[in-house]
Structure 1
Amino acid sequence: MVFIHCSLLNLNRTLTRSLMASLLAVIGILHGCNIIPIFSRQDPSPTPEITDADVNNYAKTVLNIESQRQIAYQKIQKIIGNSPPEIACDRPDSFKQLPTEAQKIAVDFCNNSKDIAQESGLTTSKFNLMTEKAQEDNILKKQIQNAMIELRQNN
């Protein structure tokens, strides 16, 4: 139990929250939902240009994290025998009700998600900015959707 809480506390809380909100946002974008999480903190720096490479890195990151989320979800579901409760990487309490083996899977998913995001070539602020912009900008939203479709077709 101590190992799990220590690992969770070592997570970059801002990045983890952003990733989870971003995943929800992208899933919403892909499914045409209008309810998408909004970040309350604004980056004080000027808005950087979003390049095609940024769009591709963003799409790849979200798809990689989502595939890992699905695997973790299925493993946890198999352990507990039904649908897992809501698990949030930035809320260690959301892990408490899970059996120890399922807690380890959840912690591994959170750590892997953070690593995937850091290896994407996008800074946390750029990743968050793109998530926010995609909510407002239909052209960017379509670019991200197209990049995800292309990545799925090429795999």
Structure 2
Amino acid sequence: MKKISDLFSRSSRKRILYHSFFFGAIATAGVISNAFSLSSQAYAQTPPPIVNNTEIDNYAQAVLAMEPARQNAFEEIKKLIGNGEIPKIVCNDSNSINGLPRKAQDIAVNYCTRSQKIVEDNGLSIDQFNKITIELQNNNLLKRQVYNTLLRLQQTPESQ
């Protein structure tokens, strides 16, 4: 009798082990399948990049082209205001310009007009330029891309 009970318990153990393995395999396959379906959904929901490489190049070129005019305008306004603090001037915010003395307003408006033309000459709309400027504040990858583009554009032809 011991031999029959031994056979019975061995087959029971094998059956339980087999069933455990079978259900474990199904559960594992379900988890893996679910993980793949979730990751594919995540890729499908990933938004396209906010800015493409051409826009980054155009933005960097516009910034470099505007910089001398910005520095000149800043220096001229600084001379007019004297030792006072120069307020932040934002071209699409008329309040920032209206708070300046009349001659400084003219300088700021002139700078803003020239900057708009520079942006458009570099293949961007003002809205695109502003969108990129805002995105730069929170997007470190974009910051790095623009920074690297600015460095590349400023290299002398001999070092390229």
Aligned mate of 2:115, from 113, 124, 135: 113
Corresponding residue for residue 64 of structure 2: 63
Partner Cα distance (2:92, 2:60) in 1: 23
Larger deviation, residues 100-109 vs 135-144: 135-144
> Take 1:91 and 1:50, find their aligned partners in 2: how far apart are those partners?
24
Q: Counterpart of 1:140?
A: 142
Q: What residue number does 2:153 align with?
A: 151
Deviation at 1:119, TM superposition (A): 1.4
Q: Following TM superposition, by how much is the alpha carbon of 1:118 offset from its aligned partner in structure 2, in angstroms?
A: 1.4
Q: State the secondary structure of the residue aligned to 1:86.
A: coil
CA deviation after TM superposition for structure 1 residue 58, in Å? 1.0
Matched, 1:127 2:113: no
- Which residue identity is paired with 2:156? N
Taking the TM superposition and a 5 Å limit, the aligned residue runs for 1:23-34 are none
Q: State the partner residue of 1:84.
A: 86
Q: Distance in 1 between matches of 2:132 and 2:96?
A: 28
One-letter code aligned to 1:60: Q
- Give 1:94's match in structure 2, choosing from 74, 96, 119: 96
Aligned residues with identical type, % of pairs? 39
Shift of 1:145: 0.6
SS in 2 for 1:121: coil
Map Cα deviations across residues 111-135 of structure 1 (whole Å, 9 max, x no partner): 1111111111123454345445545
Q: One-letter code of the match for 1:153?
A: Q
Aligned-residue Cα RMSD (Å) equals 2.9
Letter of the structure 2 residue corresponding to residue 75 of structure 1 = E
Between structures 1 and 2, the one with greater helix share: 2
Larger Rg: 2
Flag the 1:139–1:75 CA change in 2: closer, same or farther, 3 A: same
- Distance in 2, matches of 1:58 and 1:116, equals 10
- Say how many residue pairs are matched: 110
Q: Which consecutive unaligned segments of at least 5 residues does structure 1 have?
A: 1-45
Corresponding residue SS for 1:110: helix
Please give the TM-score of this superposition, normalised by the length of structure 1: 0.55
Q: Which has the higher contact order (CA 8 A, sep 6+)?
A: 1
Which residue does 1:3 correspond to in 2?
Answer: none
Say whether the 8 Å CA contact 2:116–2:126 is kept in structure 1.
no
Render the CA deviation track for 1:87-112: whole Å, top value 9, x for unaligned. Answer: 33233343344333222101101111
